[in-house]
DNA sequence: GTCTATATCGCGATAGAC
DNA sequence: GTCTATCGCGATATAGAC
């Protein structure tokens, strides 16, 4: 619990940036929350931007990773793979720090081209690639009906993102997200029924 | 093409707000684009916030409306209703002004509580209500399998929103959205196959 | 490493001449 | 209705004492 001044700065700045955005967060406010003067802050960081960039790097640090081998193994299990994916997506959505970083990303998305590109690559493309690989394997194993794996991946991911987006909005105003917490599981059930091989 | 000064202010301010956000758009920049001094601007608006609020009102002005009667009539046509809905959603997504207003909404969403509430009500709830009514009618008419209409509405809308979100991001950097333009139609096809009554 | 003091800037907004 | 001039403020950032 005993943080260095530098760590305290990053902690308070992350909170402020993720609530007010880059521009509206002043060096003054950060210093005030830390309990030091603005000038003292410049002993730890070159300028405001350096503080922001240090924090922004965390946005794309995903604690959860699935290896290529795991995809191939897990995808053969069909719906169980989707459930596992959603469980991890839910953890990210409800984890306090991940929530903060996701909000920061959304707030700064149109102000920062680098963030936009990393969003497309790491939040969209990476997930689409992973999911379409899994759906392709499910088709090979005759678990789901034949279709474009990328289209299916798109359909599956979109709903999760939308729910996360809504949850992030509601939580910012301390509103209840109870109904949305189960929405992701309902999505897996509905989706699996849509794509699975029919036996009729 | 001959705009009054007040109209010019609104036009230039809308562009700036939708690119930089409220805070980063200065009265100075607006006046400069219009071709007048800042002080002259105050002859038309009380202050910066009044300009913003005038523009923000447009965000929720939807040119397209479907009446209750039309829903009941159109929903009976099943997939044709979904195609019509998506056609209108696509028009909004690719219309220059609507795109600008949507971006403004996304940029200011976490800075403005009123916008968040109107987003939930008018972009989410309103569409979910309309769609779930339509799906309910489709179930009554035995066009689609029995299920929770709200769940299905959620699944249908989420994908459209996600595609619109991505298109808005890509267009901001003048990147191609060609593949996404057809993605919405593919969504209808995929979705209809998922929910329609099977005859097997 | 923190402080006080200060430089410099851009911001929103107003007063008053034309 | 537009201009010049100006005010007061809060912002980022630096210099130099302790």
Per-residue pLDDT of A123-174, as tens digits, reads 999 999 999 999 999 999 999 999 999 999 999 999 999 999 999 999 999 9
Per-residue pLDDT of A59-106, as tens digits, reads 999 877 788 888 999 999 999 999 999 999 999 999 999 999 999 999
Angstrom distance (rounded) from CA B59 to CA B98: 8
Out of B113, B152, B172, whose CB is closest to A173?
B113
Per-residue pLDDT of A14-66, as tens digits, reads 999 999 999 999 999 999 999 999 999 999 999 999 999 999 999 999 877 78
CB neighbour list of residue A192: distance below 8 Å, 6 or more residues apart: A78, A79, A82
Mean pLDDT of B89-96: 96
Interface mutation target, options B101, B113, B128, B154, chain A, most CBs of A under 10 Å: B154
Contacts A20 to B, Cβ<8 Å: 111
Buried b / exposed e over A88-106, threshold 16 CB at 10 Å, is ebbebbeeeebbbbbbbbb
Residue A152, judged by CB atoms within 10 A of its CB (0-12, 13-18, 19+), counts as buried
Residue B144 backbone phi and psi in degrees, to 5? -130, 160
In this prediction, residue B131 carries a pLDDT of 97
Query: B188: nearest CA in chain A?
Result: A155
Contacts A195 to B, Cβ<8 Å: 194
Nearest residue (CA) to C1' of C12:
B27
In this prediction, residue A65 carries a pLDDT of 75
Q: How far is the CA of B99 from the C1' of D3 (A)?
A: 36
Cβ contact A29 with chain D strand, < 7 A: yes
CATH topology for A5-52 is Arc Repressor Mutant, subunit A (1.10.10)
Is A166 within 8 Å of chain B by CB? yes
pLDDT at B200 exceeding the cut of 80: no
Angstrom distance (rounded) from CA B44 to CA B32: 15
Is A121 within 8 Å of chain B by CB? no
B168/chain A closest Cα distance in angstroms: 10
> B1 falls in which pLDDT band (50, 70, 90)?
low
Cβ contact A43 with chain D strand, < 7 A: no
Contact: A111, B20; criterion CB under 8 Å: yes
> A2 falls in which pLDDT band (50, 70, 90)?
confident
Domain A60-195 sits in CATH at 1.10.357
Mean pLDDT in chain B?
96
In this prediction, residue B66 carries a pLDDT of 81
Cβ contact B2 with chain D strand, < 7 A: no
Cβ contact B25 with chain C strand, < 7 A: yes
pLDDT above 70 coverage of chain B, percent: 98
Per-residue pLDDT of B110-150, as tens digits, reads 999 999 999 999 999 999 999 999 999 999 999 999 999 99
Angstrom distance (rounded) from CA A156 to CA B126: 23
Per-residue pLDDT of B26-68, as tens digits, reads 999 999 999 999 999 999 999 999 999 999 999 999 877 788 8
The residue written with tokens 């333009």 in the block is B181
In this prediction, residue A67 carries a pLDDT of 82
In this prediction, residue A200 carries a pLDDT of 59
Mean pLDDT in chain A?
96
> A181 falls in which pLDDT band (50, 70, 90)?
confident
CATH 1.10.10.60: which residues of chain A?
A: 5-52
Angstrom distance (rounded) from CA A163 to CA A171: 12
Mean pLDDT of B144-172: 98
Out of B169, B183, B194, whose CB is closest to A154?
B183
pLDDT at A1 exceeding the cut of 80: no
Cβ contact B39 with chain D strand, < 7 A: yes
CATH 1.10.357: which residues of chain A?
A: 60-195
In this prediction, residue B63 carries a pLDDT of 72
Mean pLDDT of B153-167: 98
- Count other C-beta atoms under 10 Å from residue A24's C-beta: 16
Per-residue pLDDT of B168-180, as tens digits, reads 999 999 999 999 9
Contacts A113 to B, Cβ<8 Å: 173
CA B120 from chain center: how many Å? Answer: 12
């Amino acid at each position: 619990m005993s943080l260095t001044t530098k760590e305290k700065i990053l902690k308070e700045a992350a909170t402020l940036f993720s609530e007010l955005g880059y521009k509206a967060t002043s060096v003054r406010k950060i210093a005030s929350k830390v309990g030091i003067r603005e000038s003292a802050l410049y002993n730890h960081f070159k300028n405001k931007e350096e503080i922001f960039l240090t924090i922004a790097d965390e946005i794309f640090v995903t604690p959860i990773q699935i290896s290529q081998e795991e995809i191939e193994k897990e995808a053969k299990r069909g719906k169980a793979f989707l459930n596992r994916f959603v469980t991890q997506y839910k953890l990210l959505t409800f984890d306090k720090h991940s929530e903060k970083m996701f909000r920061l990303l959304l707030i700064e998305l149109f102000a920062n081209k680098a963030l936009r590109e990393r969003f497309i690559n790491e939040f969209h493309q990476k997930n689409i690639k992973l999911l379409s690989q899994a759906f392709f394997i499910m088709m090979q194993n005759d678990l789901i009906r034949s279709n474009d794996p990328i289209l299916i991946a798109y359909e599956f991911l979109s709903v999760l993102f939308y729910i996360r987006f809504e949850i992030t909005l509601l939580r910012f105003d301390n509103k209840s997200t109870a109904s949305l917490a189960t929405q992701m599981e309902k999505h897996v059930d509905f989706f699996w029924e849509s794509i699975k091989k029919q036996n009729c």
